[in-house]
Amino acid sequence: MKISIVTPVRNGKRFIRQTVESVLNQQGEFELEYIVCDGQSTDGTLEILAEYPECTVISRKDGGPFHAINYGMDLASGDIGAWLNADDIYLPGTLAKVARCFQEHPETGWLYGNCPIIDENGREIRRPITLYKELIGFRYSHNMLLCENFINQPATFWRMSLWRELGGLNSIYKAAWDYELWLKMAQKGPAIHLHADLAAFRRHAGSISENFFEKQFAEELAIARQYGNRIHGAIHAFNAWKIVTAYKLLS
């Protein structure tokens, strides 16, 4: 089984080494393809990437992360795919667990796992939020997903055949492309929740999630209303308000 990982990056010198090594250090019975799509970095990111000949590095002007992800996925030749942002990391043993799960469940098109939140120094933070998402997503539910996005992007993987069938990420959205992708995948079949910590999501002053979380949840609400019914939309609106309020207090 071949696993293709895509990392979009532009001026990600601060964390890119940790991200790359978390991918390349994965071991198991799988073949790894790692594609890094760089948006013409000028801060030394490319010099760091040059130290890792195992990566396929493509530096080109793009329209932002979703363009870079779609471009990298178009190049990917693996059976399984995922993207890992340039400040997040995989935990040891992740890809082996993912490969084994897909092999044991040939009917499954996608899966998600648990994803602790870490700070700029790699220390776990916001544990109550992580536990909350693990609780509501403990057993996959399409109705629950329409009411609240409990799936963590860094810990989500899919069969590349499903990605190609769906056509990749929708460029209409600026902060919630992943949520629409989950709902499109959900229309094709349910996900498996792999009950293990697969990745760590990093929140820091420069991250998209730290600076644009209100836009993200507004987009997620619009997406939920598009894919669900009035009840889903009403519950999602309440949950979005609840989460935005909590994030503002935490910030």
| CATH number of residue 78's parent domain | 3.90.550.10
pLDDT band for position 243 (cuts 50, 70, 90): confident
Q: What is the mean pLDDT of residues 95-123?
A: 97
Query: CA torsion, points 70, 196, 90, 85, in degrees to nearest 10?
Result: 40
Q: What is the mean pLDDT of residues 151-168?
A: 97
- 67-90 pLDDT, tens digit per residue, is 999 999 999 999 999 999 999 999
Q: What is the pLDDT of residue 224?
A: 96
Q: What is the pLDDT of residue 173?
A: 82
Q: What is the pLDDT of residue 139?
A: 96
pLDDT band for position 134 (cuts 50, 70, 90): very high
Closest among 174, 140, 149 to 227, alpha carbons compared: 149
Q: What is the pLDDT of residue 189?
A: 97
CA–CA separation, 131 and 117 (whole Å): 11
pLDDT higher than 60, residue 137: yes
pLDDT higher than 90, residue 95: yes
Instruction: Out of 78-92, 121-135, 144-158, pick the least confident.
Output: 121-135
State both tokens at 112. 């998600």
Domain count, the chain: 1
Chain-wide mean pLDDT for the chain?
Answer: 94
What range defines the domain where residue 82 resides?
2-250
- 214-229 pLDDT, tens digit per residue, is 889 999 999 999 999 9
What is the phi/psi pair of residue 9, to 5°?
-150, 145
pLDDT band for position 64 (cuts 50, 70, 90): confident
CA–CA separation, 57 and 66 (whole Å): 17
Q: What is the pLDDT of residue 109?
A: 98
Q: What is the pLDDT of residue 63?
A: 83
Closest among 227, 237, 243 to 185, alpha carbons compared: 227
Name the more confident of 172 and 167.
Answer: 167
Handedness of CA 225, 231, 236, 242 (dihedral sign): positive
pLDDT higher than 90, residue 172: no
Q: What is the mean pLDDT of residues 157-170?
A: 96
- 187-215 pLDDT, tens digit per residue, is 999 999 999 999 999 997 765 555 567 88
